[in-house]
Structure 1
Amino acid sequence: MLKLLFFARLREDLNSHEEALPLPDGITTVGGLRDHLCLRGDNWHKALHSAGLFVAVEQQVVDWETPLNGDDEVAFFPPVTGG
């Protein structure tokens, strides 16, 4: 079971901060998972394709081609700014 985490603005945009999801058939990469989640609707597509979006697998920032295992923790988060 994948553990999905959504941080900061994504939490509000998606009305979700955490969920468990079986690795969907045919999905092998983080980018494939993002595309699968985008099928949930326009708000998912807009949020997960926003500029500068980061993704981490097992608390390591990765790129969209990173392979997934069925029990990974996958976190999505927007760029962080400070002041």
Structure 2
Amino acid sequence: MKIELVYFGRPKEHLKVARETADLPAGTSNLAGVLAWLRTRGDVWAQELADNRVRCAINQEFADLPATIKENDEIAIFSPISGG
């Protein structure tokens, strides 16, 4: 399943990526699974994308970790506290 990932705030700064298209592994069906998969990329990814360190949105609507994702969804990942 392909999705678009968009990073804001601290995750964007520390992971040094603003946007990417990802092809998720089979069986990844919710936000928790997306974050778990991204954490397998290594140390900084595991630290920055811990469940309690980020908030997520699906197609520009806040979503909790159990929220289901589908093909071509845009997943935003950002710090819980963001300036504006």
**TM-score normalised to the size of structure 2?**
0.89
Runs of 4+ off more than 3 Å: none
**Which residue of the partner structure matches residue 67 of structure 1?**
68
Q: CA deviation at 1:81?
A: 5.1
Q: Deviations over 1:2-44 (max 9, x none)?
A: 0100101111111101000123211011000100000000100
Give the number of equivalent residue pairs: 82
Q: TM-score of the superposition, structure 1-length normalised?
A: 0.90
Distance 1:27 1:50, change over 3 A: closer
SS in 1 for 2:70: coil
Aligned-pair RMSD on alpha carbons? 1.5
Q: Which runs of 5+ in 1 are unaligned?
A: none
Counterpart CA distance in 1 for 2:44 and 2:38 is 10
SS in 1 for 2:71: coil
Identity of aligned residues (%): 30
